């Protein structure tokens, strides 16, 4: 962040970046450096960095602090938290499982690309597609030869997300964050039926809904949650890898410095439904 404006929101974003990045770096450096069994620092560090990235991106985009978009980020954060928590319970085996699953998915995607290339005919190969396949194969083979890469079309961990959350003692994260945020991620009716329709109050229309595109109220609470999930991940890391941090947690920084005036009063229509039929 190079912005030095005096705008309070800009100051918050700058401060949040500093807190998140310093928290990330000290933890990344705490993971034992290892280039023989390099999957442990790569997977754990990578997941931690992903969690930080999601929260940082949300922090600098207050226009997304609404029910349309923020849940997409938050669901991914809860997912990352559950994944990291589960991986931390058995670093050696689970980091490898995590990486091998990803490599298998990449191999499958390359297969799709090659099949599409074959369908187009050998004579008029798309050079961009050719280059894409080459680059992706190179990334894959640099880690594990594609002939040695299994493709797993099930769950990467062999368990459902709920089971992973339960095994790490955080089934509540699954019930109260992962499940509700999954609605917007998968565009299901429990979300679409609120955020993509308007409820007509005319009883002559039996309170029907009309599909529409409209703005959802902004709320800083989404950013608060983002800082909370990231902080939970930091704390889980600290607990499992016996680390004492010298830096403030993102949630504490948000509570002290976060915007409080990004909450609009208008509730979305979920709170004004007609009576039961």
Partner 1 sequence: MKKDKLLQGHKQIGKRFVTPMNQLPNFRSARYVDDMLPELIWVALMIDRIDYVPAARQFESFCKIAIDALDEQRSGFAFASTYGAASDDEKSELVRKLDAAGLLEDVRESIGPLNRLYPTSPLAFIGMAEAESDDCLFTMEDCVGRFINKHETPGIVLNGMILTSELITETISFSAEMDLPDFNSVLTDPDSDSAKHAGGFLRAHALSSFGFCELDSKWARDFWNRNLELYKCDFETSSHD
Considering beta carbons, is residue 109 or 199 the nearer one to partner 1? 199
Considering beta carbons, is residue 122 or 213 the nearer one to partner 1? 213
For the bound state, the minimum distance from the C-beta of residue 272 to partner 1, rounded and expressed in Å, comes to 7
For the bound state, the minimum distance from the C-beta of residue 273 to partner 1, rounded and expressed in Å, comes to 11
Considering beta carbons, is residue 118 or 208 the nearer one to partner 1? 208
For the bound state, the minimum distance from the C-beta of residue 61 to partner 1, rounded and expressed in Å, comes to 19
Cα–Cα distance between 273 and 84 in angstroms, integer? 39
Cβ atoms of 44 and 31 closer than 8 Å? yes
Closest C-alpha to 159, from 207, 244, 87:
87
For the bound state, the minimum distance from the C-beta of residue 213 to partner 1, rounded and expressed in Å, comes to 5
- How many CA atoms within 13 Å lie on the side-chain side of 190? 9
For the bound state, the minimum distance from the C-beta of residue 12 to partner 1, rounded and expressed in Å, comes to 29
Helix (H, G, I), strand (E, B) or coil at 185: helix
Cβ atoms of 40 and 93 closer than 8 Å? no
Cβ atoms of 83 and 232 closer than 8 Å? no
Considering beta carbons, is residue 5 or 210 the nearer one to partner 1? 210
For the bound state, the minimum distance from the C-beta of residue 255 to partner 1, rounded and expressed in Å, comes to 31
Considering beta carbons, is residue 202 or 246 the nearer one to partner 1? 202
Beta bridge partners of 149: none
Cβ atoms of 101 and 152 closer than 8 Å? yes
Measured between alpha carbons, how far is residue 21 from residues 72, 114, 162, 260 in Å? 22, 39, 30, 23
- How many CA atoms within 13 Å lie on the side-chain side of 277? 5
Q: Is the dihedral of CA 54, 58, 59, 60 positive or negative?
A: positive
For the bound state, the minimum distance from the C-beta of residue 77 to partner 1, rounded and expressed in Å, comes to 26
How many C-beta atoms surround the C-beta of residue 143 within 10 A?
16
Considering beta carbons, is residue 212 or 244 the nearer one to partner 1? 212
Q: List residues binding partner 1 (CB under 8 A).
A: 198-207, 210, 212-215, 266, 268-269, 272, 274-277
Considering beta carbons, is residue 207 or 224 the nearer one to partner 1? 207
């Amino acid at each position: 962040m190079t912005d030095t404006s005096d705008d309070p929101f800009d100051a918050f974003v700058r401060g949040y970046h500093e807190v998140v990045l310093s928290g990330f770096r000290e933890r990344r450096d705490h993971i034992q450096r290892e280039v023989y069994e390099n999957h442990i620092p790569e997977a754990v560090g990578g997941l931690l960095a992903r969690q930080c990235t999601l929260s940082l991106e949300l922090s600098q985009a207050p226009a997304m602090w609404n029910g349309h978009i923020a849940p997409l980020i938050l669901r991914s954060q809860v997912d990352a938290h559950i994944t990291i928590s589960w991986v931390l319970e058995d670093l050696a085996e689970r980091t490898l499982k995590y990486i091998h699953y990803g490599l298998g998915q990449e191999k499958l995607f390359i297969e799709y690309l090659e099949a599409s290339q074959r369908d187009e005919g050998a004579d008029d190969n798309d050079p961009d597609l050719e280059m894409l396949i080459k680059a992706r194969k190179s990334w894959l083979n640099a880690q594990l030869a594609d002939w040695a890469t299994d493709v797993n079309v099930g769950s990467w961990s062999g368990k459902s997300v709920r089971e992973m959350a339960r095994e790490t003692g955080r089934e509540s994260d699954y019930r109260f964050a992962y499940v509700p945020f999954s609605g917007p991620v998968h565009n299901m009716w429990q979300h679409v039926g609120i955020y993509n329709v308007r409820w007509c109050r005319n009883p002559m229309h039996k309170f029907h809904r009309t599909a529409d595109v409209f703005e959802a109220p902004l709320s800083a609470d989404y950013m608060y949650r983002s800082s909370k999930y990231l902080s939970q991940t930091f704390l889980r890391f600290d607990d499992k890898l016996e680390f004492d941090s010298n830096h403030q947690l993102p949630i504490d920084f948000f509570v002290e410095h976060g915007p409080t005036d990004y909450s609009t009063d208008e509730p979305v229509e979920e709170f004004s439904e007609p009576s039961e039929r």
